[in-house]
């Protein structure tokens, strides 16, 4: 039994549409139809009984349903290099000292587009290699809005017969800033959408820039079981609320992330394939996604995924020198936001060993 597939071309042939708009619409329609084609190929593989093809196609199919949130603390390059941004229990899980810096430029083609910066430093304790501490700092900003967070991290791991069990805590402070001078009400309140009496844009009784600091707690649990890595993390556990405008509060919704990753090596031990499934929920909505990551000789890493009905993405990283990795990711929208030129993500990570033990000194005496 064979299921066939036929792709329909875009029917938007209106002469009023420019050539650019036509190709953009056709491009979006192409990738929407491509999702359907993946599903058809998946069903065909089931009918033909091809297990290996089935596993690969399941990964490709689920890679079309990944989502991103502003405060989810998880992005694609973090999953490529390490899961520690997704789960505090994985801080310094490689039992080394790690320094990580990341810069993300969202919708780079737009003026005053959002820009994110992340920096972290963590290491295992000198006398307790099953415990680790770290510090993480992040900034998310655009023209009139800025979110900054500084957190202290702690992780504890317990070795088991099949792997380990880890617990992590991230305690910090988040700062919200709003610059009234840079805020705009569009047409000055003359249209049907923008209103001058919007309390967030009104300067009555407000300074040029207002900010508020809230206490923020993240928690995570992880486990390594042979070739499986699983974890559950909870961000913004205390649901901190910032009052930027008097009487108006902005709340950080508690967000739960559940992930699972499987490591599959080829017979030659050259390639390592890491499909990872993620489920994220703020207890009012739920999102599911998957990364497809492949590492070659422990030095080159490639990743493919797409975000549900909004964009597709790819990333790669490579080892420049021993312990230092550089990564790049590109996100291409599949909707009208394609005009933004997409988003760029660059990350640098350096891991090294700190030797706290004293070197033994030997004195040589020669008797003549």
Question: Same structural domain for residues 56 and 125?
Answer: no
> Is 144 a member of any domain?
yes
Question: Same structural domain for residues 115 and 32?
Answer: no
358 DSSP 8-state letter: P
State CA 175 to chain mean position distance: 21
> Is 292 a member of any domain?
yes
Nearest partner of 307 among 324, 290, 322, 319, judged by Cα: 290
Question: Same structural domain for residues 56 and 75?
Answer: no
Question: Same structural domain for residues 302 and 158?
Answer: yes
Task: Count other C-beta atoms under 10 Å from residue 186's C-beta.
Answer: 11
> Which stretches of the chain are DSSP H helices?
19-48, 51-62, 76-81
- DSSP-derived 3-state class of residue 260: strand
Where among 28, 43, 60 does a domain terminate? Answer: 60
Q: Which residues share a beta bridge with 287?
A: 280
**Which CATH number fits the domain that encloses residue 124?**
2.40.160.40
Query: Using N-to-C axis directions, what is the helix angle for 51-62 and 19-48, rounded to 10°?
Result: 150
Question: Same structural domain for residues 133 and 263?
Answer: yes
Tokens found for residue 296: 């070659």
Q: Collect all residues with Cβ–Cβ distance below 8 Å to 349 and sequence separation of at least 6.
A: 81, 82, 98, 99, 100, 101, 324, 325, 327
Question: Same structural domain for residues 45 and 139?
Answer: no
Task: Count other C-beta atoms under 10 Å from residue 41's C-beta.
Answer: 18
What whole-number distance in Å separates Cα of residue 216 and Cα of residue 238? 6
Measured in degrees and rounded to the nearest 5, phi and psi for residue 246 equal -55, 125
Q: Which residues span the domain enclosing 285?
A: 63-352
pLDDT at 4 over 50: no
Question: Same structural domain for residues 51 and 155?
Answer: no
How would residue 20 be classed by pLDDT, with cut points 50, 70 and 90?
very low
Question: Same structural domain for residues 255 and 173?
Answer: yes
Question: Same structural domain for residues 154 and 50?
Answer: no
The radius of gyration of the chain's CA atoms, rounded to the nearest angstrom, is: 24
pLDDT in tens, 264-318: 999 888 999 998 888 888 888 877 777 889 999 989 999 887 666 667 788 899 9
Q: How many domains does the chain have?
A: 2
pLDDT exceeding 70 applies to what percent of the chain?
A: 63
Whether the CB-CB separation of 279 and 285 falls below 8 Å is answered with no
Question: Same structural domain for residues 144 and 39?
Answer: no
SS3 content of the chain, % helix, strand, coil (to 5): 15, 45, 40
> Is 6 a member of any domain?
no
Higher confidence at residue 268 or residue 16?
268
What whole-number distance in Å separates Cα of residue 34 and Cα of residue 107? 24
Question: Same structural domain for residues 51 and 67?
Answer: no
Strand residues in 125-265 grouped as ranges (E): 131-141, 145-159, 163-179, 209-225, 228-235, 241-245, 248-251, 255-262, 264-265
Q: pTM (2 decimals)?
A: 0.71
Average pLDDT, the chain: 74
> Is 289 a member of any domain?
yes
What whole-number distance in Å separates Cα of residue 303 and Cα of residue 295? 9
What whole-number distance in Å separates Cα of residue 299 and Cα of residue 81? 11
> Is 167 a member of any domain?
yes
Most confident of 35-39, 157-161, 184-188: 157-161
How would residue 28 be classed by pLDDT, with cut points 50, 70 and 90?
very low
Question: Same structural domain for residues 192 and 310?
Answer: yes
Tell me, what's the pLDDT at 33?
A: 52
pLDDT at 14 over 90: no
> Is 326 a member of any domain?
yes
> Is 88 a member of any domain?
yes
Nearest partner of 151 among 122, 183, 130, judged by Cα: 122
> Is 3 a member of any domain?
no
What whole-number distance in Å separates Cα of residue 240 and Cα of residue 338? 34
Q: Collect all residues with Cβ–Cβ distance below 8 Å to 278 and sequence separation of at least 6.
A: 66, 74, 86, 257, 258, 259, 288, 289, 290, 291
Where among 44, 60, 76 does a domain terminate? Answer: 60
How would residue 153 be classed by pLDDT, with cut points 50, 70 and 90?
very high
């Amino acid at each position: 039994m064979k299921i066939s597939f036929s792709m329909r071309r875009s029917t938007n042939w209106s002469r009023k549409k420019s050539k650019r708009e036509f190709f953009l619409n056709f491009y979006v329609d192409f990738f929407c139809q491509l999702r359907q084609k993946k599903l058809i190929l998946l069903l065909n593989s089931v009918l033909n009984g091809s297990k290996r093809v089935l596993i690969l196609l399941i990964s490709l199919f689920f890679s079309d349903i990944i989502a991103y949130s502003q405060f989810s603390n998880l992005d694609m390059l973090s999953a490529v290099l390490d899961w520690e941004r997704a789960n505090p229990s994985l801080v310094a899980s490689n039992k080394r000292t790690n320094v990580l810096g990341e810069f993300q430029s969202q919708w780079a083609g737009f003026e005053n587009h959002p820009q994110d910066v992340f920096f972290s430093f963590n290491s295992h304790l000198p006398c307790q290699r099953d415990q680790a501490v770290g510090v993480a700092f992040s900034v998310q900003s655009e023209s009139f809005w800025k979110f900054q967070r500084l957190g202290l991290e702690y992780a504890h791991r317990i070795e088991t017969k099949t792997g380990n069990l880890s617990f992590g805590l991230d305690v910090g402070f988040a700062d919200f800033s709003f610059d009234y001078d840079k805020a705009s009400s569009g047409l000055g309140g003359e249209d049907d959408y923008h209103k001058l009496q919007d309390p967030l844009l009104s300067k009555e009784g407000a300074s040029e820039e207002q900010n508020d600091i809230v206490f923020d707690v993240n928690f995570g649990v992880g486990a390594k079981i042979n070739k499986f890595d699983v974890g559950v993390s909870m961000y913004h556990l205390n649901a901190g609320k910032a009052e930027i405008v008097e009487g108006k509060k902005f709340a950080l919704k508690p967000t739960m992330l559940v992930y699972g990753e499987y490591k599959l090596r080829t017979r030659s031990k050259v390639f390592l394939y890491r499909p990872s499934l993620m489920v994220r929920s703020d207890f009012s909505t739920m999102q599911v996604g998957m990364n497809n990551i492949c590492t070659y000789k422990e030095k080159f890493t490639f990743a493919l995924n797409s975000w549900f009905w909004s964009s597709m993405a790819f990333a790669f990283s490579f080892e420049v020198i021993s312990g230092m990795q550089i990564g790049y990711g590109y996100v291409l929208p599949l909707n009208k936001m394609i005009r933004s030129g997409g988003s760029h993500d660059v990350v640098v990570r350096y891991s090294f060993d700190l030797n706290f033990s004293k070197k033994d000194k030997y004195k040589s005496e020669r008797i003549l």
